[in-house]
Amino acid sequence: MAPGPIRSCAGCRRRRPQAELIRIVRCPDGTASVDSGTLEAVTPGRRAARVAGRGAYVCRDEHCADKATRSGALSRALRLEGSITREVVAQLKHGIAAGAATSKSEDERYG
């Protein structure tokens, strides 16, 4: 299977397949929001990015989300005028926690 597009995390700068990252998109009004399509469990062949607009990516890792939002890397990547709002940070962390819970239950089931 052909690997999908590679993107780098705004937190740790590591390059990963886009499907493994959560996408944050710049809305037309200049605010950021989490692309909810990328919060769901990754299924092969699924299009990860659903929302049009300038996007930035972070790993499904709370440390990366923290680093990317606190350092300003994420807002710079999205060319936002202000910083990432608390709502977006919360949305991001909620998505990461949900993903972590999913993979944990899978580990328990299979292993």
- Residues in the site for Zn ion, rule: CB under 5 A? 9, 11-12, 59, 64
Residue (26 or 67) nearer to Zn ion, CB? 67
Looking at beta carbons only, is 30 or 72 nearer to Zn ion? 72
Which residues contact residue 63 at a Cβ distance below 8 angstroms, ignoring those fewer than 6 apart? 11, 12
Of residues 52 and 98, the one with the C-beta less far from Zn ion: 98
Alpha-helical regions (H) of 1-111: 62-70, 73-77, 86-110
Instruction: Name the phi and psi angles at 89, rounded to 5.
Output: -60, -45
Closest approach of Cβ 59 to Zn ion, in Å? 3
Q: Whole-number minimum distance, CB 11 to Zn ion, in Å?
A: 4
